[in-house]
Structures are given as structure tokens and as C-alpha cells.
Structure 1
């Protein structure tokens, strides 16, 4: 799917979009200085880009156009709002650069397809969050399934419940506009995890609703200001996997809290409680057939102590002709699944999924030091 970025050398990264999420990537990049060199940042608000440059040695604050034209930027980390994901990715690809973006890959599958086709034609790589699936939580659960601890998987449940991001986010407007909502915002974590655990999805059914026509911002300089709600804020879906397993998905900005695990996987010989796919770690618990209680499994797979940005390091070491684990095909498949759940909610009919994505290659239990050594060998 493109040329490798890292052949024992640093991957030189430029960031477009310096909003709230950039802090988490910067924390990982500081740990990855033997793998990744952050060389430039850009934002529509020059002050935000300059603040990052002032805090990170050796980084230049540029305009978006300057960053895209910079010869020392090999990969663009796209942290813009979802509506701009495709436009920025296409411009980066046109400049000959690989792209790693925040989720979703694009606002629509049509735009996402254009990104993948452009990248293939240009011979560059496309990666996309979430890379949480590479952490020890989801990967330990994958290994438990692969080791046969629950037998043949039958079903899964995936639940994300929160009363809304406006309670903490200072600018939550886009969460409540078309292209936002709980499914497109948080669903990528859960759908990507379900595909990583159980394989690709072939059809879906959905239902959706919303309970409020406006939301009140709870923090920051706009505290007390209201924003309109023009998209569904509670979505339920049934996902049919190619394997025959059935997953039930509940994503809500309307409810308050759930007591159940974020993801449960049920098989003929046991059930797994899987940690929050918005996190990289967490306990995986097994209730085996005939057991008397849940057993916490030892951490056995995944990148140890990982965080946002590990998907970029993983992508940088992708072999020629191979798809990154947190790659564009998985992100496209997850986007089509989510878009189709929403389409099914409107039509009341099942929707066939046309794309597919191979279950990503497992991540062996790996520390950062071991990853650096392997990339440098």
C-alpha cells in the first residue's frame, strides 16, 4: 500500500491542527525521539501552532501551505476537525507525503475512498486513529480469542454512554452537527476494536434518536452558551461479522453511565470482559465455562504503556506492500459500518457492507525500548 517510512532512520512528522488532542500526541513523540522527529506544526490559528513550537525544541510553526511544501516533512499528522480530514489528507498526498489522521478517516465514505485511491496512486501510506487497538488491553483480548480461551466467538456487546462532551469540551459544536454524534465520534474506537477482535463486518441494522435540541457548554470561555443539536445523539446497531458473530453497539450522548464492561465477547467456552477501547491498557477478564468467578488474564500482547501516536511509529515500520495495523483500510471499513448504521436507522432496513478489512496482525508483547531497537536494526 505504499513505501516504508522508517528504514532505520527517523520519520519526520509535521502536524496540521494544534487543538486539544495534540497534547497527547506530543507526549508520545517525546518518548519516540529515537523513532520520530517532529519538525513542524501548523494551525488556522497561528498562535496555537506557535505555542506548540515554543514548547517543543526544534519545531517550526508554519502555515498549512508552508508545511505541505516542506521538504523535511515525510508524514503529515492530520488533527483537524472531521469535516476537514479528507481535504487536508488529499493535499498532503498530492505533496507526496504519507498521512496519519485522527478518526474518522473522512466525513463520508465517498471522501475516504478518494483519500485511499489517491494514496495508492501516489505510493504513500495512510494510517488513522484509533491506535488504541494496538495497546495491551485489546491485544491481550485478541490473544485470548486466538488461544481458544472462549472457543468459537458467538457475539459481542459494545457500549459507550456519556451525558455529552459539552460538559467538558470548550468548543463542542461539531459533536452535535452532521458528521458528529456519538457514533462517528466514539464509534471508531469500538468498531475498530470489534473488527480487530472478531474480524470484518458484512451487514448492519441500526436505530437512532435524540432527546434535546440544544446543549449548554459547561466550561471554558463560552461556558453557558448553547449550541444546537442537528444530529442523532443515541445510536444502536447490530453488526454481522463475516465469521457469523453478532455484535450489538450502543453509543449515546444522552444517557448518564453504564455499569457493564465497555466490550464483552461471548464464545462457546467462555466470555471476555474487554477494557475501554478508548484506552490502551486495562484488565481483560475471562469467565470460562464451568468457572465460579471471573479471572483476570495476565498482560500477554500489545505495546506496553502505549499512547496516542504509537500507530504512527507502527506505521513507520510497515513493510513494503503491507497494510499498517492502524491503517486506512480498517479506518475506511469502520467508517462504512458507522455510516451504514445511520443509514439503516433512517430506512429501517439492513444495509450490506461493501468494504472489508483483514483482521489486523497481532502485536506481540512489546516495550518501547524493544520497538526502538527493532526499528533501528
Structure 2
């Protein structure tokens, strides 16, 4: 705490651009090196950012001036890169999910604990003003004791816009594992950990046709369920219902809606960092848009790393490995329940992260 965290990035695909934009305004992060299996991509990033070296993956892992590795590789490589970084004595922060499976994710957490380094993981959208304002409204008692929530994501499929959508329709893909981390992490942040789940799943088509790019018109096989519904039982007693679909055309349902004894909240898209939070209090005549009251203002990808950098030693970051593991465990268990037809107990847990006080980036170090 109190000095910049030296960060090295492995994986220089499209997502890195969002991190670079925010690193430039986060004085608590000092980007020092980048690496990619394609050296030209790493060099292009280094050329665009003052003071950054383009290295091989092995060189970056061995670099003495890298404190934390930002892992932007594909999900199948998340655990392998994280374990190599930890073995090199470095903390890690990865894109979602923490790993392809909970078994691999547990290896990452165990290795980090043994090495005394920190694990963080996206999504850090939960740290923005949208989710955090909703969280503060709940904590302030504006809806009374929470009773239930709904979380809805509906799209006819990513093949309509993605030029290479194959992985979305293979094991490890699907609407829940792709988009669920945003929704499940938000639900745990808002309502606390989950103790059991019930799931059901289906798919409407065995093939998808690519709608754009060089492969337009090619057919992609579907080997996963493309519509998933789950009920999450929170330790608090609240019940959350998930609706995650690559089959539905459109929805007018809120992304997340929370119901309590004395009010209901409309929560903005958990894939975004901001958005309006609306309250309908018992006895009111209409919805009220709440003023922004918590979260990092004008935040974006990378703020989770800045939050990690300023987390006291020994404390779990808000976008930490335990929350990411719990979210992955919940999603795996929903899919297991869908296959077995049985309720599944969640073995993991995660503390409900503390609220982010309303914070603008006006000083050299986040507080």
C-alpha cells in the first residue's frame, strides 16, 4: 500500500485495450511489461505505452520488477499461467473465470496461500457505482430484509456478431459460464454467499451459423446447453433466480431486480460499471432513481487491480480469488443440478465484500 504496484500482462488480445485506458489514470498501477504468444502483438502494446517492455512469457514471469501478473489469456489457460506466476513469487489477477474448473481454481488458491501472494479476479464491475449504490441501498435498509432477486440475460447467440464463436458452444462455454460471472458475483456482493442451488437447462439447436467476419455462413456445432435457469439459496435465506440464455430473442426484464420486505430495487447491468439504481418503496407511487452513493466513479476494467493494490496485507481484495471461486462453484453446481435433477449443496463460501465508499480518482493513490 502507498506505492504503485508493478504489473506485467500476459495476453495482448482485444480486451487489453480497456485495461490500458484505465491504467493511464490509475497512479497506483505501474505497467512495466507485456507478453503474448504472438510477439508482434506484445510489441504493438509496448510501442503504445511509455516505459513498457515487450517480453516472452517466460521472461515476464522471471522479471524482478513485476509484482503482479495480469492474466488475459483464454479461460483454458488461466490456471496454468496463474500457477506459473505464483511459482515465480508473483500475485495474480485474471480475467473471468478464475479457472476452467473449480478443481483447477482450487489449485490456484492453494498455491497462492502457500506462497503468500494475492489472487484477484474479474469481474471488477461490482466495484463501480451501479452495483455499489445498490449494495449501499440494501445495507441502509431501503428495501428492508431482502427476500428474493432475479437476474436475466437474454440474447439469441453470440454467433450473430462474433467472427469466431465456436468456444461459446463447447464445454466450458454457454450462457452461464460466459456471462454468469457478472451476475453471480453481483448477487453475492449484494446478498451474500450461496449455500445451495437447483438448476435446469436446455438447448434449441444443434448448430449455429456464423453471421459476420471471414467465416460468415459457416456452421458451428452446439455441444452445450444454451439456456440455463437456476435458483440460488443464499445463506441469508434470500432466493435468487437466474435466467441465462443464448436462445431467447430479447427481454424487457431488468438485468437484476432485488425485492425486500419494504421495497424493490432495479439494479443496472452487472456487465457495466455504472447505471441508474431505481427504488420502489412500499407506499410510494412510482420508481425513484437513487443518487450515486458508493463505488469507484467513472471506473472500468483494471480498477479491481487498483483496489487489490490498496487492500491491507492479509485481507481479501473485494474482487478477490475467494469471491471468484465461489461464483465458479455456484455456476458449476447449477449445471450439475441441471444434469442430475437434484439440488446441489455449495461447499465453498465467500465473505460479502465491504462496500466501496464513493471514490473519485483525484489523488495519486486510491483510498
**TM-score (norm: length of structure 2):** 0.98
Give the corresponding residue for 2:3. Answer: 9
How big is each residue's C-alpha offset from its partner over 1:195-245, in whole Å with a ceiling of 9 and x where there is no partner?
Answer: 000000000000011112222223333333332221111100000000000
For residues 50 and 369 of structure 1, what CA distance do their matches in structure 2 show?
Answer: 31
Give the corresponding residue for 1:4. Answer: none
For residues 263 and 89 of structure 1, what CA distance do their matches in structure 2 show?
Answer: 31
How big is each residue's C-alpha offset from its partner over 1:162-195, in whole Å with a ceiling of 9 and x where there is no partner?
Answer: 1122222222222111111110110000000000
Matched, 1:150 2:146: no
For residues 374 and 305 of structure 1, what CA distance do their matches in structure 2 show?
Answer: 13
Give the corresponding residue for 2:22. Answer: 28
Task: Report SS of the residue matched to 1:31.
Answer: coil
Pick aligned residue for 1:224 from 217, 221, 227: 217
Give the corresponding residue for 1:161. Answer: 154
Task: Give the aligned CA root-mean-square deviation in angstroms.
Answer: 1.1
Matched, 1:309 2:302: yes
Give the corresponding residue for 2:326. Answer: 333
For residues 164 and 41 of structure 2, what CA distance do their matches in structure 1 show?
Answer: 15
For residues 219 and 69 of structure 1, what CA distance do their matches in structure 2 show?
Answer: 40
Deviation at 1:53, TM superposition (A): 1.5
Q: Is the 8 A contact 2:28 2:365 kept in 1?
A: no
Q: Is the alpha carbon distance of 1:366 and 1:65 closer, same or farther for their aligned partners in structure 2, counting shifts above 3 Å?
A: same
1:32-51 superposed matches below 5 A: 32=26, 34-51=27-44
Deviation at 1:96, TM superposition (A): 0.5
Task: Report SS of the residue matched to 1:185.
Answer: helix
Matched, 1:355 2:348: yes
Give the corresponding residue for 1:213. Answer: 206
1:197-276 superposed matches below 5 A: 197-276=190-269
For residues 221 and 368 of structure 1, what CA distance do their matches in structure 2 show?
Answer: 41
Give the corresponding residue for 2:117. Answer: 124
Give the corresponding residue for 2:87. Answer: 94
Pick aligned residue for 1:291 from 275, 284, 291: 284
Matched, 1:105 2:85: no
Name structure 2 gaps, 5 residues minimum. none
Name structure 1 gaps, 5 residues minimum. 1-6
Task: Report SS of the residue matched to 2:40.
Answer: helix
For residues 241 and 286 of structure 2, what CA distance do their matches in structure 1 show?
Answer: 24
**TM-score (norm: length of structure 1):** 0.95
Pick aligned residue for 1:19 from 13, 16, 19: 13
Task: Report SS of the residue matched to 2:61.
Answer: helix
Q: Is the alpha carbon distance of 1:373 and 1:313 closer, same or farther for their aligned partners in structure 2, counting shifts above 3 Å?
A: closer
Matched, 1:191 2:176: no
For residues 168 and 36 of structure 2, what CA distance do their matches in structure 1 show?
Answer: 20
For residues 23 and 182 of structure 1, what CA distance do their matches in structure 2 show?
Answer: 24
1:165-176 superposed matches below 5 A: 165-176=158-169
How big is each residue's C-alpha offset from its partner over 1:314-369, in whole Å with a ceiling of 9 and x where there is no partner?
Answer: 00111011000000000000000000000000000000001100100110000011
Task: Report SS of the residue matched to 1:160.
Answer: strand
Q: Is the alpha carbon distance of 1:151 and 1:341 closer, same or farther for their aligned partners in structure 2, counting shifts above 3 Å?
A: same
List structure 1 segments (4+ residues) > 6 angstroms apart after TM superposition: none
Q: Is the alpha carbon distance of 1:227 and 1:61 closer, same or farther for their aligned partners in structure 2, counting shifts above 3 Å?
A: farther
For residues 360 and 76 of structure 2, what CA distance do their matches in structure 1 show?
Answer: 35
Give the corresponding residue for 1:75. Answer: 68
Task: Report SS of the residue matched to 1:170.
Answer: coil
